[in-house]
Amino acid sequence: MMSIVAVVGRPNVGKSTFFNRLIQRREAIVDAVSGVTRDRHYGKSDWNGKEFSLIDTGGYVKGSDDIFEAEIDKQVELAIDEADAIIFMVDVESGVTGMDQEVAKLLRRSKKPIFLAINKVDGASRMNAAMEFYSLGFDQQYNLSSINGSGTGELLDDLVKALPDREEEDNSELPRFAVVGRPNAGKSSFINALIGKDRYIVTDIAGTTRDSIDTKYDRFGFEFNLVDTAGIRKKSKVKEDLEFYSVMRSVRAIEHCDVIILVFDATRGFDGQVENIFWLAQRNNKGIVIIANKWDLVEDKDTSSVKDYEKYIRQQCEPFVDVPIVFVSVLTKQRIYKAIETAVEVYQNRSKKVKTSELNDVMLPIIQAYPPPAYKAKYVKIKFCTQLPTPYPSFAFFCNLPQYVKDPYKRFIENKLRENFDFTGVPITVYFRKK
């Protein structure tokens, strides 16, 4: 399991700029979801070969200082509780403010490693000004500029040393299906209905589930672990911002599963929160099944309602539209077994390996008939393709000028792979490499 690092601080100190810089240190961004709830960001980064999840908590102020104090208390305590280490960001231009002192008080109560990052230090005069931040009570501070990246290396060197060494989770190597979604969408009820007993506490109160628990499931001749990621941990000191905490729990669950079963409340709609969890899974290259729960409660349905709703969901998921959507009612157990059968099919699609000879026999004639468009009077010639040995479907196409292959043609190739080899529910990665 990867460690989690939270970036906290008051507004306008450059947290998001710092966050964007860290996740883009990778050759390719694995995952960056913005706007999940009130400008929070979730991503993955690595430094010196050590990967970690990164959360920008996006502090904000409303009205008076009292309202701010309540908000910062809620947001920062949630981040502290889940994170393994915390980057506390301040702004040298503003100096030490009352807001900084409020955050520092909360951080000093924790036993988590705290890294005080002083942003916008891009000159000798500002180096001297940064000395006043020692008044916040932290032994070491790091002067940096999130705009140009100066100073971030020293911070990251010390940060990764402080992160715990985590062993990869191993549950008898069984496939893991994570049931994710917004609070009170019916995730625990879905699992209870599948296994035929009340394994999880279910109430009308959002956030009843307190821990992620694996349930071994054996049906259809296929064994796997079902994971309910619904809620928040049982910690009385944590104020229950359910949207924030449910996504933090989903981040970890998604990283360590094979297929996500994304459950949403059809009466509430496929809204921005659900979309962002979807894209979180897509960017992590996980299999995805979308479950529209409480379909029996949707009013004014007619013969075209399912088709219209499905069309709307696919529009929200563009360009990744090859995702199965199952309309269920957990209460009446309508189509819940169809949902899990679909999840098994998606897992098998994700594990599918296409023989190199078969892949070339199918794809090369298509490429010959529809070659990449010429660029600067130069023609791209693709001679060979193969599937790469990754846990999810990824393919390399070898050609003379890979830099001239643009995104529209990559999407064309992806669509042809889906048409011919059935990768429904699974993101595909296509690479063009120099022969």
If asked whether residues 364 and 346 sit together in one domain, one would say: no
Q: State yes or no: pLDDT of 74 exceeds 70.
A: no
Within a domain: residue 170?
A: no
Mean pLDDT of 172-176: 76
Look at strands 429-434 and 394-399 and give their pairing: parallel
If asked whether residues 258 and 404 sit together in one domain, one would say: no
If asked whether residues 142 and 237 sit together in one domain, one would say: no
Within a domain: residue 171?
A: no
The full DSSP string for 63-86 is SSHHHHHHHHHHHHHHHHHH-SEE
Within a domain: residue 337?
A: yes
> In the numeric block, which tokens belong to residue 427?
């993101």
Within a domain: residue 168?
A: no
Q: State yes or no: pLDDT of 34 exceeds 60.
A: no
User: Which range (3-12, 73-82, 227-236, 349-358) has the least confidence?
Assistant: 227-236
Task: Supply the CATH number for residue 23's domain.
Answer: 3.40.50.300
pLDDT digits (tens, 9 = 90+) for 249-306: 667 778 788 999 999 999 888 887 788 788 888 888 999 999 999 998 888 888 888 9
Within a domain: residue 313?
A: yes
In 69-147, DSSP assigns E strands to 85-91, 114-119, 141-143
If asked whether residues 337 and 239 sit together in one domain, one would say: yes
User: Which range (38-52, 69-83, 365-379) has the least confidence?
Assistant: 69-83
0.85 exceeded by the pTM? Answer: no
Among 105, 128, 162, residue at a domain's last position: 162
pLDDT in the model for residue 70:
59
If asked whether residues 195 and 208 sit together in one domain, one would say: yes
The helix/strand count (H/E) of the chain reads as 12, 16
> Are the beta carbons of 130 and 92 closer than 8 angstroms?
yes
Among 162, 193, 221, residue at a domain's last position: 162
If asked whether residues 213 and 318 sit together in one domain, one would say: yes
CA distance 360 to 104: 59
Confidence of residue 114 (pLDDT cuts 50, 70, 90): very high
Task: Supply the CATH number for residue 416's domain.
Answer: 3.30.300.20
Highest mean pLDDT: which range of 10-19, 50-59, 267-276? 267-276
> In the numeric block, which tokens belong to residue 374?
């010429």
* Cβ atoms < 10 Å from Cβ of 67: 11
Within a domain: residue 167?
A: no
Within a domain: residue 330?
A: yes
Q: State yes or no: pLDDT of 203 exceeds 50.
A: no
Q: Which residues belong to the annotated binding site for GTP?
A: 9-16, 56-60, 119-122, 181-188, 228-232, 293-296
Mean pLDDT of 394-399: 95
Mean pLDDT of 54-80: 58
If asked whether residues 186 and 268 sit together in one domain, one would say: yes
Within a domain: residue 343?
A: yes
pLDDT in the model for residue 237:
38
Among 162, 184, 218, residue at a domain's last position: 162
CA distance 299 to 285: 35
pLDDT in the model for residue 365:
95
In 120-166, DSSP assigns E strands to 141-143
Mean pLDDT of 129-142: 89
If asked whether residues 197 and 151 sit together in one domain, one would say: no
If asked whether residues 210 and 64 sit together in one domain, one would say: no
Looking at the structure of the chain, the number of domains it has is 3
Residue 40 has φ and ψ, to the nearest 5°, of: -85, 150
Choose between 45 and 116: higher pLDDT: 116
pLDDT digits (tens, 9 = 90+) for 331-377: 888 888 898 899 999 999 999 999 999 999 999 999 999 999 988 88
If asked whether residues 262 and 381 sit together in one domain, one would say: no
If asked whether residues 381 and 309 sit together in one domain, one would say: no
If asked whether residues 68 and 130 sit together in one domain, one would say: yes
What residue numbers bound the domain in which 120 lies? 3-162
Q: Which residues belong to the annotated binding site?
A: 9-16, 56-60, 119-122, 181-188, 228-232, 293-296
> Could you tell me which residues come within 8 angstroms of residue 291 by beta carbon, excluding any fewer than 6 positions away?
190, 261, 262, 263, 264, 326, 328, 339
